[in-house]
Chains A and B, each alone.
Chain A
Amino acid sequence: MKEQTTRAMWWRSPSFILDNRQQQPNDTARGDALSIPLSSPLPPSTTMADPNPNPNPNPLTDKISAYYQTRAAHHGVVSSDWLAQAQAAVGHLPEADDDASNNDQGAPSGKPFSVIDEFNNWRKQPDLAEAVAAIRALAAVIRNSQATTMMELEIELKKASDSLKSWDTTSISLTAGCDLFMRYVTRTSALEYEDFNSAKTRLIERAEKFGEISYKARKIIAMLSQDFIFDGCTILVHGFSRVVLEVLKTAAQSKKLFRVFCTEGRPDRTGLRLSNELAKLDVPVKLLIDSAVAYSMDEVDMVFVGADGVVESGGIINMMGTYQIALVAHSMNKPVYVAAESYKFARLYPLDQKDMGPALRPIEFGVPIPSKVEVETSARDYTPPQYLTLLFTDLGVLTPSVVSDELIQLYL
């Protein structure tokens, strides 16, 4: 295959086998190519408009991972059209209670409950993290379940969780969020109750609670990290993480004096969007091109990044470039802080950069490139724990070595 010849360079890496396996299910994917132009913002609904309830997000021709599609769709350049579409989408968002009451009354009638639809409804909120939307959708599954025994309910939940996970196989926070939800909800003695209805009520309670915790995680993290931002400090930020934005917003609102260096974040242009948001908060921002990080690192007091996933070793998986910045910061003895919610803790242990499922995204250079030239299109990298100083999570401020301990407590 064409992909194989172009990938001949990395045949040595074990992830070549992973990639191979990934390609086989792709062979059975739909034919239509979902090519999303980066420059124009796209409403989230069009990428999801699909008769197939579980759209396979990896069409063979374009090799764009759903991970990146989600980000591109969700985090498009903030323009007035996008804002209008986002507001329209939020306007159509069903309230949790209405949804429950509607479905309770009209359960037999109308179209059958689909977890993917529920998920997409929640996803339309631009502020909601993907994993939190999944958690809310799974909570709705329990609420709308027609099961009469606990076993049936658990099977339903597992099926729903699997379908959500397969919707986007490359998103780590989605997989981790679903897994943790399953464990949190089912890890209760309520399952031993005689009365199924009370057990189900208990499950719903726990599900809502988990949803609440996940939703509030950002605020908790922002509160915890306030102590580490001092007056007159310079913060280097990479990637557009809503958690980090919340942290900086809280600091700005408590009248702290600090300035922020944003990396450009090619090709997602995350730096531009972040600097937009920060300028609105009257925080002095300086944009750097990605290559200027080492040049400016001596002026920087700390580095703040978000995470797509936190792995067992205590390292993080984040937007491409994070590893580079962490290396530079480490060599210059600058602390690297990671802001990540606890539902991003995943049961993964990457041994090298290529050890994870590939998440690819198209890169536009602005000029045509000869077809013989390969382009590295991976969207994320793995930062090992020795380059990280502290992780701010809703479980508290943790050092990377604590992560595996917390994982054990969460998962077992």
Chain B
Amino acid sequence: MPFFIATDSFNNLAVTRYQGHCFAKDLSAEGFRTTLITDSAVFAMISRVNMVVVGAHTVMANGGIIGPVGLNMLALAAKQHGVPFVVVAATHKLCPLYPENPVVRLNELKSPSDLLQFGEFSECMELAPDSSACVLNVVNPAFDYVPPQLINLFITDIGGHNPSFMYRLIADYYSADDFIL
């Protein structure tokens, strides 16, 4: 019976925080023994892990993925400790673009309300009454890009593949004319 460690702010685009908590609850409801940790504890706990399994928002043409923020840190930790990093992504997530392409917006900034309630935020604004500029900046990126070197395996609905193979799937599903729109 595998142990599961779910990270705290494992979150999707449209949903508020504490998604990791919900996921941990779902897993334990299924009967798995689950451990919940914060994102910051990833490096501390990675040595106790045999495998990392994540989903992705998109799979890019070079085999890298765009996933929820915090994924790059997890991938780096896994690489550092030699833990296999497995991405589970269906073929509808394939994208023919490369991340270096400026058309690809690697990140979206969400509302800072995840970090700071508006009431607290407006208090910070009062700290500098003489200037209209905010003393405090709150940035809440939604995505992370994980380069293909950090990924060990892709599991798609048509089988398991190397990151360097993903371009083949993209070539199968996308016509070459559609690469540049």
CB within 8 Å of B: which residues of A?
224, 227-228, 230, 335, 389-390, 396-399, 401-402, 405
A399 touches B101 (CB 8 A): no
Say whether B168 contacts A405, CB under 8 Å.
Answer: yes
Q: Give the distance to chain A from B61, nearest Cβ to Cβ, in Å.
A: 8
Chain B, interface residues (CB within 8 Å), range: 10 to 19
Please state if B164 and A399 are interface contacts (CB–CB under 8 Å): yes
CB–CB B179/A396 < 8 A: yes
Return the chain B residue nearest A223 by Cβ.
Answer: B180
Contact of B98 among A230, A397, A402 (CB under 8 A): A397
- In the complex formed, the residue of B with least CB distance to A405 is B168
| B residues less than 8 Å from A228 (CB atoms) | 98, 100-102
B141 to chain A, nearest CB (A): 19
Taken together as a complex, chains A and B put the C-alpha atoms of A396 and B61 apart, in Å, by 12
Given contacts A227-B102, A230-B102, A397-B179, 4 further A-B contacts (CB under 8 A): A224-B180, A227-B180, A397-B98, A399-B167
A283, B147: Cα distance in complex, Å: 32
Q: Given A390-B62, A401-B164, A402-B167, is A396 in contact with B102 using a C-beta cutoff of 8 Å?
A: no
A224 to B96, CA, bound (A): 13
Q: How far is the CA of A396 from the CA of B179 in the complex (A)?
A: 9
- A280 to B62 CA separation, bound complex (whole angstroms): 35
* CB-nearest residue of chain A to B97: A227
Binding site for A on B (CB under 8 A): 61-63, 98, 100-103, 164, 167-168, 176, 179-180
Classify the interface of chain A: helix, strand, loop or mixed.
Answer: mixed
Specify which chain B residues have a CB less than 8 angstroms from the CB of A224 in the assembled complex.
180
In the bound complex, do residue A335 and residue B164 qualify as a contact, i.e. CB atoms below 8 Å apart? Answer: no
Considering only CB atoms, which chain B residue lies closest to A301 in the complex?
B100
Closest A residue, CB atoms, query B168: A405
Contacts of B102 in A (CB 8 A): 227-228, 230
Say whether A390 contacts B164, CB under 8 Å: no
- Contact of B100 with A396 in the complex, beta carbons under 8 Å: no
Task: Write the nearest CB–CB distance from A28 to chain B, whole angstroms.
Answer: 46
Could you tell me the distance in whole angstroms from the C-beta of A336 to the nearest C-beta in chain B? Answer: 11
> What are 28 contact pairs spanning A and B, CB under 8 A?
A224-B180, A227-B101, A227-B102, A227-B103, A227-B180, A228-B98, A228-B100, A228-B101, A228-B102, A230-B102, A335-B100, A389-B100, A390-B62, A390-B98, A390-B100, A396-B176, A396-B179, A397-B61, A397-B98, A397-B179, A399-B61, A399-B62, A399-B63, A399-B167, A401-B164, A402-B164, A402-B167, A405-B168
Contacting residues, chain A, for B176 (C-beta < 8 A): 396
Question: What residues of A have a CB within 8 angstroms of the CB of B167 in the complex?
Answer: 398-399, 401-402
List the 6 shortest-distance A-B pairs measured between CB atoms, nearest first: A401-B164, A227-B101, A230-B102, A399-B62, A402-B167, A228-B100
Q: For residue A397, which residues in chain B have a CB less than 8 angstroms away from its CB? A: 61, 98, 179
A5–B180 alpha-carbon span in the complex (Å): 56
Chain A contacts of B62 at CB under 8 A?
390, 399
Distance in Å: Cβ of A363 to nearest Cβ of chain B: 36
- Contacting residues, chain A, for B63 (C-beta < 8 A): 399
CB neighbours (8 Å) of B179 from chain A are: 396-397
> Using Cβ atoms and an 8 Å threshold, which residues of chain B touch A402?
164, 167
Across-interface contacts of B103 in A (CB, < 8 A): 227
Task: List the A side residues contacting B164 at CB < 8 Å.
Answer: 399, 401-402
Inside 8 A of B168's CB, which chain A residues have their CB? 405
Give the shortest distance, in Å, between B23 (CB) and chain A (any CB).
Answer: 32
A402 to B3, CA, bound (A): 38
Smallest distance from the beta carbon of B122 to chain A beta carbons, Å? 35
Residues of chain B within 8 A of A399, CB atoms compared: 61-63, 164, 167
Docked complex Cα distance between A99 and B103 (Å): 47
Complex interface: chain A residues within 8 A of B180 (CB): 224, 227
**Cβ of A22 to closest chain B Cβ, rounded Å:** 35
Give the Cβ gap from B77 to chain A, nearest Cβ, in Å: 18
A202 to B35, CA, bound (A): 69
What's the least CB distance linking A238 to chain B, in Å? 19
- How far is B100's CA from A228's CA once the two chains are assembled, in angstroms? 6
Nearest-neighbor residue (CB-CB) of A397 within chain B: B98
Provide the residues of chain B in CB contact with A389, threshold 8 Å: 100
Inter-chain CA distance A390–B101, complex, in Å, is: 12
Residue of chain A at shortest CB distance from B149: A386
Alpha-carbon distance A225/B168, docked complex (angstroms) = 21
Cα–Cα, bound, A7→B101 (Å): 47
Cα distance, A399 to B63, chains bound together (Å): 9
CA–CA, A397 and B167, complex, Å: 10
How far is it, in angstroms, between the C-alpha of A399 and the C-alpha of B162 when the chains are bound? 13
| Residues of A close to B61: CB separation below 8 A | 397, 399
Q: How far is the CB of B150 from chain A (nearest CB, A)?
A: 13
**Cα–Cα, bound, A319→B121 (Å):** 57
**A398, closest chain B residue (CB):** B167
B70 nearest CB across to chain A (Å): 20
Closest to A400 in B: B164
A218 to B160, CA, bound (A): 37
Q: Please name all residues of chain B whose beta carbon is closer than 8 Å to the beta carbon of A390 when the two chains form the complex.
A: 62, 98, 100
Name the residue on A nearest B104 (C-beta).
A227
Within the complex, the shortest CB–CB distance from A180 to chain B, in Å, comes to: 19
The chain B residue with its CB closest to the CB of A399 is B62
> Quick one: which of B61, B100, B176 has the most chain A CB within 10 A?
B100
Central interface residue in A390, A398, A402, by most chain B CB within 10 Å? A402
Contacts of A227 in B (CB 8 A): 101-103, 180
Q: How far is it, in angstroms, between the C-alpha of A192 and the C-alpha of B70 when the chains are bound? A: 60
